[in-house]
Amino acid sequence: MKLRTWRRARLGPIASLRAAAALVPVAALAGVAIAASSITDLGSPTNNTALNSLFPLDGFHRVHTSVGSRGHAELLFLGTMYPNDFQSQVERWPVVKALDQFGTLTGVRPDSPQCVLSRNPPCTYATFDWSRAQYRSRYLTFAHVDMLHPNGKLFQPLTPAEKALYNRYARVRGGPMTGPDDIANTIFHSWMGDTSRGLPLVVVGEYLQTRSPELIPGYFRVVPVTPTTAVLAYPPVEASLRSRRDPPGSQLVEAVNAEANIITAVICNADGDKPASVCSRPVIKTILRSVK
């Protein structure tokens, strides 16, 4: 079992993030209560596979590295809590669903959208705050790093090995990471879609992915978009996944479940196909044929 604690770095905020202080909750959240016991329950596993041409492994590819702890496989997630880091926000959903099949994730809080109508795009996306999360599993450890706080300060520090992975596979500019503006620049280029690098960086064993092409933030938008309800709040996303019913004009359910199945398969590959109840599911076995 691996539990991580963090020290907040003492650095000034990024100038471009000053508007983040003006974030206001989406109106649709008023009066909504979420039971803590249900937060990681995103419905039973499905047989969805990737919708894009990169099936069956989506953006995951084999690299010359392997993460793990005390003989256990490890899922490493490098992301941020930065308001414009949309890919990190939506990627947490399939990660949580995959982790739930191998152990128990606690200390997780829902983080629903916040909007600044003067910004383009104006809203963040419903996600999870796992800055205080702990994970217990017989098969897997979970290392999660949010490099930036929403206010733009450096938040959770990287280990030397994690920093090397970030510099080699995620960072847009050449050379080592220099500070919060460097991380923000990587997010910006990732958001603009002009690079194969970006965040979040997800590593399981020898398989690594940045910027999943499967999970599109637009699936989390309300259709039609209005000034007060631009994105789905946390409860509607959770309800869609549990009921397996897409929001109007979205493929959210298919995308989240397909990504969760891919992550599940690479975990099974890393931990010796355990437990059998998870790793012997037909869709997982199909995906594993491409994991060498």
Task: State the pLDDT at residue 257.
Answer: 95
Backbone angles phi, psi at 100, to 5 degrees: -60, -20
Cis peptide before 224 (omega within 30 of 0): yes
- pLDDT: which is higher, 201 or 192: 201
Q: Are strands 72-79 and 127-129 parallel, antiparallel or unpaired?
A: unpaired
pTM: 0.85
Distance CA 62, CA 255 (A): 22
Q: Radius of gyration (Cα) for the chain, nearest Å? A: 18
Q: Name the average pLDDT for the chain.
A: 81
For the chain, the structural domain boundaries read 15-28+43-288
- pLDDT: which is higher, 28 or 189: 189
Range picked from 71-80, 87-96, 166-175 for highest mean pLDDT: 87-96
154 and 9 Cβ atoms separated by less than 8 Å: yes
Distance CA 84, CA 123 (A): 8
Q: Provide the token pair at 210.
A: 């940045």
Task: State the pLDDT at residue 253.
Answer: 95
Distance CA 50, CA 40 (A): 22
**pLDDT tops 90 at residue 129:** yes
Q: Please compute, for residue 206, the number of CA atoms within 13 A of its CA located in the half-sphere on the CB side.
A: 6
**pLDDT tops 70 at residue 153:** yes
Instruction: Provide, rounded to the nearest whole percent, the portion of the chain with pLDDT above 70.
Output: 79
Among 233, 213, 242, CA closest to 59:
213
Name the DSSP class of 169.
I
Distance CA 124, CA 30 (A): 17
**pLDDT tops 50 at residue 265:** yes
Distance CA 68, CA 142 (A): 9
Distance CA 83, CA 125 (A): 9
- Predicted confidence band of residue 176 (pLDDT cuts 50, 70, 90): confident
Does the CA dihedral 212-6-126-268 come out positive or negative?
Answer: positive
